[in-house]
Amino acid sequence: MSMPACSPRDRSSEIAWYRGIDEGPWDGLATFDRVVHPATWALTVQLAAAAAMTERVRLWSCIAILPIRNAALFAKEAATIDVLSGGRLTLGLGIGAHDVEYLATGAPLEKRRQRMDAQVEEMQKIWAEVPPVEEHYPVGPKPVQSGGIPLIAGVEGPKAIARAAKWANGVMDGSHAMHFDPERVSEQRQRVVQGWKQSGRTDVPHFSSCLFFSLGDDPRVQLGEFLVDFLKPYGVDASFIASSTSHGADNLRAAVSGARDAGVDDLLLLPTTADLNELPRAREALGI
């Protein structure tokens, strides 16, 4: 299980999250990619800081919106983070869920999926030290991890899974973060496995999922307040928020158990508060 640092807004709390997660028992530390949100930080800067402040956990981008970026610069930043972390970086890549990220950065909305495929190919060449300009140096640095940095695709549908099978090590399912349904998660995993086979892949795809959780004094209120803020620019559906099962220790335990039964390789637990006490609460709830 991995745990993101939950959008703290000052240096001391950010470092405390890094160190608290690295102390364990968590396997990884994830960061989010939202340009247009006052509480999120720059993805690669945050990952670089986490690389310097941790020693053990795997670092994840969850999910980096690749088509709003320059592929060569992003490949260089990612490789630098991989070196700083001693080869602990996994890149989750996707097109994102909101057009506002493209509008804010001036990136075109058209052909996002095709652009992402081409960008991944460019990044992989850069990591293999192929010079992007003939008769010039390669970009550098070279990633620590042999074969380049593992790539996880944030995709859902059959066509997107088929595209991801051409370049990804696996898939991250983000569609059940607020209403975790182990049966549907298992079905999605089977679709990914089948998509890999249909694309001629013989390896088993890595499959990860994620889950928001709240364990404060009033978990339901904590979750509701978080979701209202999280969804505010996109329209708040009160019934959707009220029906979410991402609150309380019992729901957290049930989701973790269900994810294990569904064959999830990595479950990212997404805290809904910047209160560092959520880490020991989660350990207590899960008995770890």
Neighbours of 144 (CB within 10 A): 15
Quickly state the pLDDT bin for 5 (edges 50, 70, 90): low
What is the pLDDT at residue 236? 67
How far from 74 is each of 21, 63, 111, 260, 281, CA to CA, in Å? Answer: 25, 14, 19, 33, 36
Please give the average per-residue pLDDT across 179-184, as a whole number.
92
- 23-50 pLDDT tens trace: 989 999 999 898 998 888 999 999 999 9
Task: For Cα atoms 257, 258, 263, give the angle at the middle one, nearest 5 degrees.
Answer: 100
The phi-psi region of residue 235 (left if phi > 0; otherwise alpha if psi is between -120 and 50; otherwise beta) is left
What is the pLDDT at residue 50? 97
Q: What is the pTM of this model?
A: 0.93
Task: For Cα atoms 112, 91, 81, give the angle at the middle one, nearest 5 degrees.
Answer: 120
How far apart CA 198 and CA 158 sit, in angstroms, is: 11
What is the pLDDT at residue 3? 65
Asked if 237 and 203 count as a contact pair (C-beta separation under 8 A), the reply is no
Please give the average per-residue pLDDT across 214-221, as a whole number.
94
Q: Which residue is listed with tokens 């994102």?
A: 96
Domains and CATH numbers, the chain: 2-286 (3.20.20.30)
How far apart CA 126 and CA 143 sit, in angstroms, is: 10
Task: For Cα atoms 63, 33, 113, give the angle at the middle one, nearest 5 degrees.
Answer: 50
Task: Give me the helix-helix angle, 249-261 and 182-198, nearest 10°.
Answer: 30
Neighbours of 122 (CB within 10 A): 18
Mean pLDDT across the chain, nearest whole number? 93
